[in-house]
Amino acid sequence: MGIARKCCMSCRSALAREDGLTLIEVAAALVILSLISLYFLSYFTNSAAQSKLINQQLSATHLANAKLHEIQSMAFDQLQQYASSGSSLPEQAEDIYSIQTIVSSSHPEYPFNSDFLYITVTVYWSKDPDHPEQYRHQISLVGAARRDYQKNGGAQT
């Protein structure tokens, strides 16, 4: 019993000597906690900005795809006039987006074929404040129109 009593008394004396945390220890803990909180806060701020950019990019892709389908539904002869003149279709502006459509008889990524016209739809957004005539972001989609596609009711021959 004597040993247990000695152990219990030494535990009590150790607890009695413990006065608590000093002001420096509390300040150090607050600094560490603040640094960790700032790291996570910056992560959430950056993810919100990235999410906004991805949403704009997705909207731009949908606009470009809709415009591409609209142009592909036009008569081939009408598209050929744009391709032969070398001019682009009239530029469109929708809210924060600007849409440019170019029709050409050739495209650098595809072999030449006289039965095809290549349609490039580019959507721009976020004007650059340093260069007002330029945009920060763009999405381009390339599609094609086939000469006899509409004559066959859209069927491949």
Question: For residue 86, what is the DSSP state?
Answer: T
Question: For residue 128, what is the DSSP state?
Answer: -
Confidence of residue 149 (pLDDT cuts 50, 70, 90): low
Residue 15 pLDDT greater than 70, yes or no: no
Q: What is the pTM of this model?
A: 0.63
Q: What are the CA-CA distances from residue 134 to residues 50, 76, 111 (Å)?
A: 21, 32, 31
Looking at the DSSP bridge assignments, the partners of residue 125 are 97, 137
Report residue 90: phi and psi, to 5°: -55, 135
Specify the 3-state DSSP secondary structure of 38.
Answer: helix
pLDDT in tens, 88-101: 676 766 668 889 99
Mean pLDDT of 39-49: 82
| Whether 76 contacts 147, CB under 8 Å | yes
The region of weakest confidence among 26-35, 98-107, 124-133, 135-144 is 124-133
- Report which residue type is found at 22: T
Q: What is the 3-state secondary structure (H, E, C) of the chain?
A: CHHHHHHHHHHHHHHHHCCCCCHHHHHHHHHHHHHHHHHHHHHHHHHHHHHHHHHHHHHHHHHHHHHHHHHHCCCHHHHHHHHHHCCCEEEEEECCEEEEEEEECCECCECCCCCEEEEEEEEEEEECCCCCCCEEEEEEEEEEEECCCCCCCCCCC
Confidence of residue 157 (pLDDT cuts 50, 70, 90): very low
Question: For residue 110, what is the DSSP state?
Answer: B
pLDDT in tens, 59-92: 999 999 999 999 988 888 888 888 877 666 767 6
Residue 29 pLDDT greater than 90, yes or no: yes
Residue 1 pLDDT greater than 70, yes or no: no
